[in-house]
Structure 1
Amino acid sequence: MSAADEILDVVDEQDRVVGRAPRGRVYAEGLRHRCVFVRARDAEGRVFVHRRTAEKLVFPSLYDMFVGGVVGAGESYDDAALREAEEELGVSGLPRPRHLFTFLYDGGGGRTWWSAVYEVRCELPVRPQVEEVAWHAFLTEEELERRLGEWEWVPDGLAAYERLVAREA
């Protein structure tokens, strides 16, 4: 099954399930759905940062400071966060990511999704999915801050990061 065929829950402005549709249709029609964002830190507290592959359906070739993705139909945010983190980092046996907050991302033009933000410590050697990750590194907070103005970031991840930084201030 291709990524475009994956079935997602379609949700309303209160995050209640109102239907189901294939991911390709959800994206094409701008249907509201659910996503998870997981900030992964290594043993030294550095943040996993990566550049998405050019083949991604949404925001190809842009940088992201989160791993994550869509929540499948009938899947919980918590389960999706663990699944996505392990898949994208290429590890198994991660501790369950800790939920930090949830917000409704609105990128305009029908791009809106409920976004649950998590954090996890990954002390395992990472082997990121080549289908998802074109480049990766663990950066200190200072290095990440310097790159914000230099690299082109996924807009939903940047929105989540800005909210996260504001909450931690």
Structure 2
Amino acid sequence: MSAADEILDIVDEQDRVIGQSPRGEAYARGLRHRCVFIQARDAEGRLFVHRRTATKLVFPSLYDMFVGGVVGAGEGYDEAALREAEEELGVSGLPQPEFLFKFLYESEPGLSWWAAVYEVRWEGPVRPQVEEVEWHAFLSEAEVEDRLGEWAWVPDGLAAYERLKEFRRR
């Protein structure tokens, strides 16, 4: 099954399921769905940063400071966070990512999804999926901040990053 054929729950403004749709159709019609964003850190506390492949359905070839993806139909946020983090990092046995908060991401017309933000620490090697990740490195928060104005970042990841910084200041 291709990524475009994956079935997603379609949700309303309160994150209640109101239907289901293939991912490609949900994107094409601007149907609100669910995603997970996981900030992965190494043993030194550095952030996993990567550049998405050119074949991604949304935001191809842009940089991201989160791993993650869509929540499948009938799947919970926690389950999706662990699955997506293990897939994108190319590891197994990852501890359950810690849920931090959820927000409704809305951008240009047709881009709207509920985003659950998590964090996880992984002290072993990573082997990112070549279908998902073109380049990766672990960067300090200062290095990430330095690159915010230099690199082209995924807009939903930037929104999550800013909200996460605000969340941590509380």
TM-score, normalisation: structure 1: 0.99
SS across alignment from 2:25: helix
Return the letter of the residue paired with 2:124. Answer: L
Structure 1 match to 2:10: 10
Return the letter of the residue paired with 1:159. Answer: A
Deviation at 1:124, TM superposition (A): 1.6
Instruction: Give aligned pairs, total.
Output: 169
- RMSD across aligned positions (CA): 0.4
Structure 1 match to 2:49: 49
Structure 1 match to 2:120: 120
Structure 1 match to 2:84: 84
Return the letter of the residue paired with 1:19. Answer: G
State whether structure 2 residue 33 is matched by structure 1 residue 33.
Answer: yes
Deviation at 1:109, TM superposition (A): 1.2
Return the letter of the residue paired with 1:121. Answer: R
Unpaired stretches in structure 1, ≥5 consecutive residues: none
Structure 2 match to 1:60: 60
SS across alignment from 1:68: strand
Return the letter of the residue paired with 2:146. Answer: R
Deviation at 1:36, TM superposition (A): 0.1
Deviation at 1:168, TM superposition (A): 1.3
Paired with 1:168 and 1:145, the residues of 2 have a C-alpha distance of 16
State whether structure 2 residue 119 is matched by structure 1 residue 95.
Answer: no
Q: Deviations over 1:22-72 (max 9, x none)?
A: 000000000000000000000000000000000000000000000000000
SS across alignment from 1:134: strand
SS across alignment from 1:101: strand
Paired with 1:103 and 1:112, the residues of 2 have a C-alpha distance of 10
Q: Where do residues 110-149 of structure 1 align in structure 2 (5 Å cutoff)? A: 110-149=110-149
Paired with 2:72 and 2:99, the residues of 1 have a C-alpha distance of 18
Write out the 4+ residue segments of structure 1 that deviate beyond 2 Å after TM superposition: none
Structure 1 match to 2:73: 73
Return the letter of the residue paired with 2:45. Answer: G
Paired with 2:166 and 2:79, the residues of 1 have a C-alpha distance of 26
TM-score, normalisation: structure 2: 0.99
Paired with 1:28 and 1:82, the residues of 2 have a C-alpha distance of 27
Paired with 1:9 and 1:50, the residues of 2 have a C-alpha distance of 27
Return the letter of the residue paired with 1:23. Answer: R
- Taking only the aligned residue pairs, the percentage that are identical comes to 78
